[in-house]
């Protein structure tokens, strides 16, 4: 009998939920902030420890482990027809500051458990099965989201810009990579590009990061599309000065320009009239950052997303106009308005969606087709492979603030139940098995 609630064909198909939870908890201990929060930034010591941990599990499972120049890690179970495109899965284990332990991690450790499950059940793959741990899905260190998968997708401009980018400590990408054990020549960046037809399918397992599955009591989400993300960096410069001595009419406060722009972002997003348009100012820094000094510089990072690309782009244009207007009205200089990325949405592939639906039905698991409002490495894998994503519920977690509980992600309270993770692992395993034989 199954310990995880399966019946029928799933009865012998049992996920090691305890082992998976133990691994998730262990991985969460590699963190630069105290539990329950997790902070694991690209190429930091904790990231290196997490990488070692993942490679260790891949080795234990007997997978052939390969790393590319930027540290995307691949664990391959070779199929009987290894010349065919492989079936890939995977996600990330980097974690934004003060976040939780499930984002991305479920799609890496859960994928490794799916492989283990297939091995335990005697499955023999025809197409090889790959588990990928992507480098830096989160934009924390260099401002570039989905860095590893974006590069795998073969974006030449990214390979060029990575030669020059620095973090906020002025450490270059290449130096940071080297300190984590990835010493490369700038020309090696192109070697990360995936060869055509490397994958016949790519499936990512991830927590939903939103409230729908939890609210509706549905264990599996099948993602049909990923919303289009964009991010923008803005800087204003004014004269600054003494907070007591400079009278109000004489000021050109870069901080107030930033505050006004942050409110304009909210206004323009709401003007779109669609619930699918979202905008966030998640970074707002003032210089020199002293209570008694008028901000002479401000720096904002703005995240805008929509399932409709044109509508998102319209919002970006309005934000640009507001930034210019605010700088005029306040007598500050708009010294930077830079679109870091402005990605189109991605659609899941019909055959991958069908395989995921088949798997959920086989397992008697109710599912819902839905969009992903968060971005994922799948957004870029979709450019080089037929793509699909499996979502599991993301609970409101251990705490509930206020009268209407909402689901948590990118917060320490992030939580997915062992049962939901086991369901996700089984759907992933069956989907991969099916696609491996096609
Ligand atoms: C990824 O973490 C996102 O912000 O969607
Ligand atoms: Mn995330
Ligand atoms: Mn994620
Ligand atoms: Mn993400």
Nearest residue (CA) to ligand 1, atom 5: 374
**Could you tell me the distance, in angstroms and rounded to a whole number, from the CA of residue 226 to the centre of ligand 3?**
12
- φ/ψ region of 415 (left if φ > 0, alpha if ψ in -120 to 50, else beta) reads beta
Q: What is the ipTM of this complex?
A: 0.91
Q: Are residues 24 and 173 in the same domain?
A: yes
CA of 99, nearest ligand number: 2
Q: Is residue 5 scored above 80 in pLDDT? A: no
**Could you tell me the distance, in angstroms and rounded to a whole number, from the CA of residue 91 to the centre of ligand 4?**
9
Q: Specify the pTM.
A: 0.93
Which residues, in sequence order, are CB contacts of 157 under 8 Å at separation 6+?
none
User: Is there a domain that residue 425 lies in?
Assistant: yes
How many structural domains does the chain have?
Answer: 2
Distance (Å, rounded) from C-alpha 72 to C-alpha 42? 11
**Could you tell me the distance, in angstroms and rounded to a whole number, from the CA of residue 284 to the centre of ligand 1?**
18
Q: Is the dihedral of CA 376, 379, 385, 386 positive or negative?
A: positive
How many Cβ atoms sit within 10 Å of the Cβ of residue 386? Answer: 21
Q: Are residues 186 and 257 in the same domain?
A: no
Distance (Å, rounded) from C-alpha 1 to C-alpha 390? 25
**Could you tell me the distance, in angstroms and rounded to a whole number, from the CA of residue 229 to the centre of ligand 1?**
9
User: Is there a domain that residue 2 lies in?
Assistant: no
Of 252, 254, 251, give the one whose Cα is nearest residue 235: 254
- The pLDDT confidence band at residue 405, using thresholds 50, 70 and 90, is low
Distance (Å, rounded) from C-alpha 351 to C-alpha 349? 6
Q: Are residues 319 and 424 in the same domain?
A: no
**Structural domain ending residue among the three candidates 342, 369, 388:** 342
Of 114, 152, 158, give the one whose Cα is nearest residue 135: 152
Nearest residue (CA) to ligand 1, atom 2: 138
Q: Are residues 392 and 291 in the same domain?
A: no
Distance (Å, rounded) from C-alpha 191 to C-alpha 214? 41
Which 8-state DSSP code applies to residue 345? P
**Structural domain ending residue among the three candidates 323, 342, 361:** 342
**CA neighbours within 13 Å on the CB side: how many for 145?**
20
**What mean pLDDT do residues 426-437 have?**
98
Q: Are residues 209 and 91 in the same domain?
A: yes
Q: Is the CB of 374 under 6 A from ligand 1?
A: yes
3-state secondary structure of 344: coil
**Which region among 130-144, 197-211, 384-398 has the lowest average model confidence (pLDDT)?**
384-398
Pairing of β 73-77 and β 129-134: antiparallel
* pLDDT reported for residue 7: 43
**What mean pLDDT do residues 131-149 have?**
98
* pLDDT reported for residue 408: 81
- The pLDDT confidence band at residue 403, using thresholds 50, 70 and 90, is low
How many Cβ atoms sit within 10 Å of the Cβ of residue 181? Answer: 12
**Could you tell me the distance, in angstroms and rounded to a whole number, from the CA of residue 328 to the centre of ligand 3?**
39
Please, are residues 32 and 39 in contact by the beta-carbon 8 Å criterion?
yes
Q: Is residue 6 scored above 50 in pLDDT? A: no
Point out the ligand 1 atom lying closest to the alpha carbon of residue 373. Answer: 5
* pLDDT reported for residue 211: 87
- The CATH number assigned to the domain holding 149 equals 3.40.630.10
Please, are residues 91 and 107 in contact by the beta-carbon 8 Å criterion?
yes
Which residues, in sequence order, are CB contacts of 305 under 8 Å at separation 6+?
227, 228, 229, 230, 277, 278, 279, 312, 373, 375
Q: Are residues 142 and 99 in the same domain?
A: yes
Distance (Å, rounded) from C-alpha 219 to C-alpha 229? 26
Q: Are residues 369 and 327 in the same domain?
A: no
How many Cβ atoms sit within 10 Å of the Cβ of residue 270? Answer: 12
Q: Are residues 353 and 205 in the same domain?
A: yes
Distance (Å, rounded) from C-alpha 154 to C-alpha 384? 9
CA of 341, nearest ligand number: 1
- The pLDDT confidence band at residue 395, using thresholds 50, 70 and 90, is confident
Q: Is residue 11 scored above 60 in pLDDT? A: no
- First-to-last C-alpha distance (Å) of the chain: 30
Distance (Å, rounded) from C-alpha 408 to C-alpha 194? 34
- The pLDDT confidence band at residue 12, using thresholds 50, 70 and 90, is confident
User: Is there a domain that residue 3 lies in?
Assistant: no
**CA distances to 253, 290, 316 from 285, in Å:** 13, 12, 20
User: Is there a domain that residue 145 lies in?
Assistant: yes
**Cα dihedral value 98, 104, 105, 110, nearest 10:** 160
**Residue 120: both structure tokens together:** 């335990």
* pLDDT reported for residue 407: 65
Distance (Å, rounded) from C-alpha 183 to C-alpha 43? 12
**Residue indicated by tokens 């001595």:** 245
* pLDDT reported for residue 401: 53
Q: Is the CB of 375 under 6 A from ligand 1?
A: yes
pLDDT, tens digit, 9 for 90 and up, residues 321-353: 999 999 999 999 999 999 999 999 999 999 999
Which 8-state DSSP code applies to residue 146? T
Which residues, in sequence order, are CB contacts of 392 under 8 Å at separation 6+?
106, 205, 206, 207, 208, 213, 219, 220, 221, 416, 420, 421, 423, 424
Point out the ligand 1 atom lying closest to the alpha carbon of residue 229. Answer: 5
Q: Is residue 396 scored above 50 in pLDDT? A: yes
**CA distances to 17, 106, 269, 413 from 263, in Å:** 45, 35, 10, 28
CA of 95, nearest ligand number: 2
**Residue 24: both structure tokens together:** 């998730």
Q: Are residues 240 and 223 in the same domain?
A: no
Q: Are residues 103 and 173 in the same domain?
A: yes
Q: Is the CB of 138 under 6 A from ligand 1?
A: yes
More confident residue, 28 or 3: 28
Domain of residue 86: give its range.
Answer: 8-227+345-436
User: Is there a domain that residue 86 lies in?
Assistant: yes
**Which region among 9-13, 19-23, 106-110 has the lowest average model confidence (pLDDT)?**
9-13
pLDDT, tens digit, 9 for 90 and up, residues 181-196: 999 999 999 999 999 9
Q: Is residue 281 scored above 50 in pLDDT? A: yes
Q: Are residues 206 and 98 in the same domain?
A: yes
pLDDT, tens digit, 9 for 90 and up, residues 88-97: 999 999 999 9
**Could you tell me the distance, in angstroms and rounded to a whole number, from the CA of residue 437 to the centre of ligand 4?**
29
Point out the ligand 1 atom lying closest to the alpha carbon of residue 303. Answer: 4
**Could you tell me the distance, in angstroms and rounded to a whole number, from the CA of residue 49 to the centre of ligand 4?**
21
Distance (Å, rounded) from C-alpha 75 to C-alpha 131? 5
Of 118, 112, 189, give the one whose Cα is nearest residue 157: 189
pLDDT, tens digit, 9 for 90 and up, residues 363-381: 999 999 999 999 999 999 9
């Amino acid at each position: 009998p199954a310990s995880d609630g399966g019946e029928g064909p799933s009865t012998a198909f049992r996920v090691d939920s305890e082992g998976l939870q133990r691994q998730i908890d262990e991985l969460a201990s590699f963190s630069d902030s105290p539990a329950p929060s997790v902070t694991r930034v690209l190429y930091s010591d904790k990231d290196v420890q997490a990488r070692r941990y993942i490679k260790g599990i891949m080795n234990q499972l007997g997978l052939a482990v390969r790393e590319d120049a930027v540290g995307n890690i691949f664990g391959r179970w070779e199929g009987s027809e290894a010349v065919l495109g492989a079936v890939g899965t995977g996600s990330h284990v980097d974690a934004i500051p003060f976040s939780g332990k499930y984002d991305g991690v479920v799609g890496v450790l859960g994928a490794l458990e799916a492989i283990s499950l297939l091995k335990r059940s005697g499955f023999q793959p025809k197409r090889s099965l790959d588990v990928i741990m992507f480098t830096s899905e989160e934009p924390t260190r260099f401002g570039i989201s989905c860095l590893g998968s974006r590069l795998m997708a073969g974006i030449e401009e990214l390979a060029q810009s990575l030669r020059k980018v620095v973090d906020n400590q002025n450490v270059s990408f290449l130096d940071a990579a080297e300190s984590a054990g990835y010493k490369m020549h700038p020309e090696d960046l192109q070697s990360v590009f995936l060869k055509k037809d490397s994958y016949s399918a790519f499936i990512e397992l991830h927590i939903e990061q939103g409230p729908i599955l939890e609210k509706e009591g549905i264990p599996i989400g099948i993602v049909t599309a990923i919303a289009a993300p964009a991010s923008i960096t803005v800087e204003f410069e004014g004269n600054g000065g003494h907070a007591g001595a400079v009278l109000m009419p004489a000021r050109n406060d870069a901080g107030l320009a930033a505050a006004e722009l942050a409110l304009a972002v909210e206004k323009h997003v709401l003007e779109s009239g669609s619930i699918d348009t979202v905008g966030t100012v998640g970074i707002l820094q003032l210089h020199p950052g002293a209570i008694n000094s008028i901000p002479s510089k401000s720096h904002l990072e703005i995240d805008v997303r929509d399932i409709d690309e044109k509508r998102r782009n319209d919002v970006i244009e309005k934000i640009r106009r507001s930034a210019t207007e605010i700088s005029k009205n306040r007598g500050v200089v708009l010294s930077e308005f830079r679109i870091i990325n402005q990605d189109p949405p991605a659609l899941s592939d019909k055959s991958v969606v069908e395989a995921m639906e088949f798997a959920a039905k086989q397992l008697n698991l109710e599912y819902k087709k839905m969009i992903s409002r968060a971005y994922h490495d799948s957004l870029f894998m979709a450019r080089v492979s037929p793509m699909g994503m499996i979502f599991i519920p993301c609970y409101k977690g251990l705490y509930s603030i206020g009268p209407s509980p909402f689901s948590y992600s990118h917060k320490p309270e992030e939580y997915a139940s062992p049962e939901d993770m086991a369901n996700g692992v089984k759907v992933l395993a069956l989907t991969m098995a099916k696609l491996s034989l096609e």
